[in-house]
A and B are shown apart, each in its own frame.
With several copies, the nearest count.
Chain A
Amino acid sequence: MNDALHVELERDDSVLVMGEDVGRAGGVFRATAGLRDRFGPDRCVDTPLAEAGILGTAVGLCMAGWRPVCEMQYDAFSYPCLDQLITHVGRYRWRTGGGMEFPVTIRMPYGGGVRAPELHDDSPETYYVHTPGVKVAIPSTPADAKGLLAAAIRDPDPVVVLEPKLIYRGVAEEVPEGEHVVPLGRARVAREGSDLTLVAYGAMVALAERAAAGLADEASVEIVDVRTLKPLDEEALLASAAKTGRVVIVQEAPRTCGYGAELAAILAEKAILDLRGPVLRVTGYDVPYPYWQIEDAYMPSIDRVVDAARKLLEF
């Protein structure tokens, strides 16, 4: 992330980073470290503590020709900006008859599993994905985190990038140096297989990989990493479903109207003849994200994924 921001601010001097504690402190996950020193306090702005104000002023900054990259300090602290997002960010281009662009990027640490107090663990992608006029990307690897963020910043439309916290902490992976752009709208087959497809995104991709490894003796498992939830790479999803005929979707967010529902609905409409069994979802529950001593039971686990896969294989 940090790398992508350095590259993008360097390459386009209309890019500007703003948010709470992004400047002096470099962000609570250090995503913006060094930017203020390198580009000055006007291009890496410590804002007042007001998320709706951050996104609302970003709309105005776009109208003044800037490409603001807004950080929300945590997933659940992005909720105050939903009003601006839904009423303005997603509609303003439309409202101007396409006359103006709103190339704002909204990024935030995302998801659970980090032993934090409440409201530091949410997976709010549904609120974003459901909002017209907005695009949504969720990387599952450090390289994609860099590449998707770069693509988001360069995109002419508003893009929300949700960065799984587990990536910040994950093992250091090789990240391509310099410019690295992963185009929006293209899924990644993270693992090839022929018997069953696990569809996942964000931190759930690594979980799917471990589940697939656990199933290695029983089935050849394919993993589709969605990467961009909107626009979705529907072809990649349908291709994998056509190949395996069995799909389990893994999602960390609460179940009802989660993104997994959309994936399942697409399959129920467009892959019905390919399916050899039900489309199963392994998801977070429709309850508040719990205190961390029981968060592992809330989150989709390898056991739950394996169990669902077995059910489907035996169907």
Chain B
Amino acid sequence: MAQVFPAERELRRVIGAGHSVPDRALEGVGERELLELYRSLVLLRTYDERSVVYHRQGRIGTYAIFWNHEAMQAGAVHALEEQDWIFPSYRESAIGLLRGMPASTVLSWWRGHPAGWWNPADYNVASICVPIGTHVPHAAGLAWGKRLAGEDAVAIAFFGDGATSEGSFHEGANFAAVMRAPLILFCNNNQWAISTPLDAQTRAETLADKAVGYGMPGVRVDGLDVLAVYEATREAVARARAGDGPTFIEAVHYRAAPHATADDPRVYIDLERVEEERQRECVGRYERYLRRLGVLSDEQAEQIRGEAAETMRRGIAQAEAEPAADVALLFEHAYADGRVAFASELAELRRLTGGTEAVEPDEGPEVQV
């Protein structure tokens, strides 16, 4: 069994930095897998960068940027099996892409269009959680419930450093530990909660230290090292499957982009530090690693990037081609018998409004997510 006390202090790393810091060997990962990881990283990066552009063009609404968070998302998801469940926050909005969800679905979500709905059971990806930390108990419950049902499924919940201050994080983590739920608590410690720095969030020496209080292992990993993330998650998944309960993973990095499109970090952040962090960007870092290993050619890289770009082109086109949402959708899914229960309200609305037209993102100051 992994250590429970004390939590780790050192950040685990696999990817080195050329000559000065050698790469560490990672067992059981072949070339195909390495390239798959690269594909995931590039897909997420492309999604994110295109989304910021779409936002500027007024084609999607407020958007929570995840630039340089891709290594955590791709690395962690890669350690899961298909039957395992992912519980994303707004920061992992596009994580469904790694499970085959069309880009248009996620873009529709950010366009405020009901085509952004998905059935979690179709991808084993829960809905995007907007209220901070409140999905941690959901993930704990799902993991516990699967175990009770004798199904072999693990869950992972993604949340930020700020989320660790919420009561719901605490209650969810504790339930998971008590129920020995097969859960990975994955903390994206980007050291900021919008404008609030980590040292105004906690006095803990490390966030992984919180694991101790729940009696679970706490692991720290370099959040920009996709292989270290993968390895740490793989270990946690193995523990979970073996019935040994949850693990807390703290992935450390530094937010090098605005919190969201509406945010102007210049009023609170140290811009030099951001510049520095942007240099340590995770996709390029992995690409250099692959090239050191000799498993990525220029053509392959080109092709993978091209595929991702194409996915996004298709995605936005599809999202924009969605017909205007019908107002019946206001009522249809609130209850199992929504359409019946709200028949008179719908009839009145139809009488007054005729159809509906698609609404575009507003002018005026944008709303923070």
Contacts and interface: CB of A to CB of B under 8 A. Distances in A.
A130 interface: no
B289 interface: no
Nearest to A92: B127
Contacts of B356: 294, 296-297
B163 interface: yes
Given A50-B166, A61-B145, A100-B120, A286 B131 contact: no
B194 A96 contact: no
B330 A60 contact: no
Given A60-B140, A294-B329, A301 B359 contact: no
B168 A80 contact: yes
Interface stretch (A4-12, A17-25, A138-146, A187-195): A17-25
A118 B138 contact: no
B196 A49 contact: yes
Contacts of A117: 61-62, 90, 109-110, 112, 130, 369
B145 A287 contact: no
A59 B137 contact: yes
Contacts of A56: 134, 136-138, 140-141, 168, 171-172, 175
Interface stretch (B24-32, B42-50, B227-235, B335-343): B335-343
B57 interface: no
B120 A25 contact: no
Contacts of B171: 48, 50, 52-53, 56
A48 B144 CA distance: 14
Contacts of A235: none
A63 B145 contact: yes
Nearest to B137: A56
A119 B268 contact: no
Interface string A60-72: 1111111000000
Interface residues of B, number: 91
Contacts of A297: 327, 330, 349, 353, 356
Interface string A74-102: 00110110011001100011111111110
A79 B166 CA distance: 12
B196 A101 contact: no
Contacts of A303: 352-353
A301 B50 CA distance: 35
Q: Which of B112, B118, B201, B361 has the most CB of A within 10 A?
A: B112
B122 interface: yes
Nearest to A298: B330
B174 interface: yes
Interface in A87-145: 87-88, 92-101, 114-120, 132-133, 135
Given A83-B168, A291-B112, A293-B113, A58 B134 contact: no
B300 interface: no
A133 B342 CA distance: 12
Nearest to B177: A48
Interface in B112-154: 112-114, 116-122, 126-127, 130-134, 136-146, 148-149, 151
A97 B168 contact: no
Q: Which of A57, A59, A101, A301 has the most CB of B within 10 A?
A: A57
Given A97-B114, A291-B114, A49 B122 contact: no
A28 B196 CA distance: 12
Interface in B305-362: 324-327, 329-336, 338, 341-342, 345, 348-349, 352-353, 356, 358-359, 361-362
Q: Which 4 A-B pairs have the closest CB atoms?
A: A60-B141, A56-B137, A99-B119, A64-B145
Given A56-B134, A60-B140, A101-B336, 11 more contacts: A26-B267, A29-B368, A49-B166, A50-B175, A56-B141, A80-B166, A99-B120, A287-B331, A290-B329, A293-B359, A298-B330
